[in-house]
Amino acid sequence: MSGGWSIDPSGVGGVLHSVMDQMGDGGGSALDGHLTTLTEEIANAAMASMSGPVGAELYGLLEHIGGLSEEMVERAGSAVGGCANAVDAYLIGDEEMAAEAQSNAGTFEDPDL
């Protein structure tokens, strides 16, 4: 392909698998597991505080962290998906589609947090 593209598909695949391993699949010691543990522990602290104002602030923190965590996971998923789509397009020789997939990687509707 022309236009300056030089992609090592197996290298990109290795990086994408590594990123997905770090993101996790819903539990365990990856990022998603840590986020789940964090939210559970903040909720436990709010309940254990036995103080209305402290509990309310902890629940507010939990809501804020939840929104940021969701945004982070969405951005990472979008970036990985966009990268994979760009490489797929590159492999079939569609440079325009590869460029479009690359430009869309990491984009999603901003929740304005």
What was the pLDDT predicted at 46?
Answer: 94
What was the pLDDT predicted at 3?
Answer: 56
What was the pLDDT predicted at 1?
Answer: 43
Q: For the chain, first and last CA: distance in Å?
A: 40
What was the pLDDT predicted at 39?
Answer: 92
pTM over 0.85: no
Average confidence (pLDDT) per 10 residues, the chain, 113 residues? 72 94 83 90 94 95 92 88 87 79 69 51
What was the pLDDT predicted at 6?
Answer: 81
Assigned token pair, 87: 């490489």
CA atoms of 96 and 89, how far apart (whole Å): 8
